[in-house]
Structure 1
Amino acid sequence: MITVTRIDASGTAHRVLVRGHEFVADMTPAEGADNEGPDPHEIYDAALGACKALTVLWFAQRKGMALEDIEVVVTRDASREREGVYRLRTALMLGGNLSAEERAALLAAAEKCPVHKLMTAVTTEIETVLVEV
């Protein structure tokens, strides 16, 4: 379960609690906010980058590859979002003594990360209910 709670009645920032881990989500200054944390789109985009990094790490460890460093940079093109097209580009940088074949296998693993699949191949059904307090 994930809970999202407004931090201050006069602000826009919210505390996000996930399995005992906490971070702040907010709107951008362009939206009139104090920029106390990433906005929901940035969190969505970051989930993809984190999933790719962790999938690559898991795969490399499982295969005994000499992967030392991973960096994933996610860039967004939301210019056509209202038309139903949301583009994310991920750039994967790998450090370590890796052969060309290992690099190709790690790229293939990154392309199969679970969040990538959720974003592209799964129908997500969302139900929103109002609960009385």
Structure 2
Amino acid sequence: MTITVNRDRGHKMRHTVSVRQHRISADEGAAVGGEDLGVTPHELYDSALGTCKAMTVLWYAHRKGMPLEDVSATVDRDDSQERQGTYRLRVTLTLGGPLLTDAQRRELLAVAEKCPVHKLMTQVTTEITTELASAAP
């Protein structure tokens, strides 16, 4: 899969992220030269974790026949020590369903800890290669 990121030249820093047929606006806040016309790259990263946890819990609950009616995730970031090598994310899950037992809620929390993006962020070595495209003639 290829994701493309293209500058919107009508704005200072705004870019359009294209994933399959979907479009996401990305920008920075005014404090760093943007116009706040979209989510920041850090917000995209953080939201991937919350989204993955919520979707993983929903998928698992449906698969196991659990009475989960709704799920939402809130992601809070502490980037105060990012430059020193520590980036903290706290995800709070809200599970809806009056028939969920305490044991099922604990099981769903354990499942959330194993979502694929959580694993990517904490257990996998990511190798990144950045290169320039060939110059146009």
Identity %: 56
- State the number of aligned residues: 133
Give me the whole-angstrom Cα distance separating, in 1, the residues matched to 2:62 and 2:30: 41
Q: CA deviation at 1:11?
A: 2.1
Q: Secondary structure at the match of 2:6?
A: strand
Are 2:119 and 1:117 equivalent residues in the alignment? yes
Q: Secondary structure at the match of 2:69?
A: strand
TM-score (norm. length: structure 1): 0.97
* Structure 1: 4+ residue segments shifted above 6 A: none
Q: CA deviation at 1:5?
A: 0.2
Correspondence for 1:84: 85
Backbone CA RMSD of aligned residues: 0.9
TM-score (norm. length: structure 2): 0.94
Q: Secondary structure at the match of 1:67?
A: coil
Unaligned runs of at least 5 residues, structure 1: none
Give me the whole-angstrom Cα distance separating, in 1, the residues matched to 2:11 and 2:52: 34
Unaligned runs of at least 5 residues, structure 2: none
The amino acid across from 1:67 in the alignment is: L
